[in-house]
Amino acid sequence: MSEYRLLIDGALVAGDSTMEVVNPATEEVLALAPRGSEAQLDAAVAAAKAAFPAWAARDISERRALILAFADRFEARADEFAKLLTQEQGKPLPEAQMEVAYSCVFIRQMAGYDLPVKVIEDSETRLVQQFRRPLGVVGAIIPWNFPLLIVAFKLPFALLAGNTVVLKPAPTTPLTTLRLGEILADLLPPGVVNIVTDLNDLGGRLSGHPDVAKISFTGSSATGRKVMASAAGTLKRLTLELGGNDAAIVLPGADPEKIAPGIFGGAFFNAGQTCLAIKRVYVHDSIYDEVCAQLGRLADAAVVDDGLRQGATIGPLQNRMQYEKVKGYLDSARADGRIVAGGEVEDRPGYFIRPTIVADVEDGDRIVDEEQFGPILPIIRFSDVEQALHAANSLDFGLGGSVWGDDRALARSVAERMESGTVWINKHLDFGPNVPFAGAKQSGIGSEFAEEGLHEFTQIRIVNEAR
């Protein structure tokens, strides 16, 4: 097995213990990863704190150059990272290659932003300027569904703004992040980036640590609340990108054959393990049966297999806990609705579940109201557009949503009233580093990407000078 190391104060070090990482397609141990201890986490935070003054004092152009060099080194090992990502996370190799490529795009584009001084007033009596200064040590907590891409969402802006970072990957997908540590170890000054793993037992210590100025967390709403509670003692800055139960509304007059591939892709990308995936679809009565049939055909045609096998379009669930949870949702789907396609657990090693289309369910059913985070899609019938909009807005989630239909005026009217941070029209899962991303309601606090996302890693400083 390959050797993996933590990154603490510029050194690649063994963990104080080890933990097994399982390939979800085979249920076999892929690697022994280092497991960090409380003492190692404290050492990483101390290293980041010590490195902060010199890193923050560097010109932003110097920090930018190092971030771009990181992207170059990462891209040079793209094939290695993609294969390892498929092995530890489960997604098909083409999706893993896409994640690596998009990660490099995000790193490079985010490195191109700037933090100019803003002149608020320049008059005869005073000069008022707004500066944006780094916060200090940032704790970045990464989930298991996109272990490389979500690092690329957080690390470039944190570093560009002049902060130092402690990265904590998910315990079931730490390997690709640890490989990033090998790239960073001799590129950045010691302590600027540190990587510490755990078995979900160090998150509270990181988010409550008195020397950590900000936590950037991506994960479930339940865990986000725990992070927020841990951070409250020191009033840390927080960016929380949390769970979603994204609704798609299919308007009367939409072409079922035309829209079905977009809805299917928006729901089942990464085996449905995407915070912004479509989790429930409201379809007008006039086209309900045909939309269900079209989605069912796509589900039946999907190739569920080990992501390293050519032709696989949907891989396994990432870990056993999520697999068992999704199997529970399958039971609810059978009890409350009609299975159009799928509904089966693959009889083989690995956490495989076929993509499942569930018709004839209603709001209030568990399969509709809860985020499945797996390859299950409930379809709800409606006859009145306002009724569908009300239902889409009725839950506590508000991460994303989409509206599908040929009547653009009606689609825009509905989209503008959806209570979500992002709403798409006739597409889903279209985002980029130049487009702000923020959840509404219990789907998050703060923004990522674009200028707004960079500002999340800064403290405003006003200098008010008498003339």
Residues carrying an active site annotation = 241, 275
Residues 6+ apart with CB under 8 A from 145: 89, 270, 273, 274, 275, 318
Distance, CA of 63 to CA of 221 (rounded, Å): 33
Which backbone phi and psi does 279 adopt, to 5 degrees?
Answer: -110, -15
Paired strand residues for 402: 248, 424
CA angle 439, 444, 450 (to 5 degrees): 55
- Amino acid in the structure at residue 90: G
d(CA 417, CA 422): 11
How many beta carbons lie within 10 A of that of residue 333, not counting itself?
26
**Strand residue runs (E) in 262-420:** 278-284, 338-341, 356-359, 376-382, 400-404
- From the list 450, 430, 446, 452, the residue with the least C-alpha distance to 110 is 450
Q: Are 148 and 85 in contact (CB under 8 A)?
A: yes
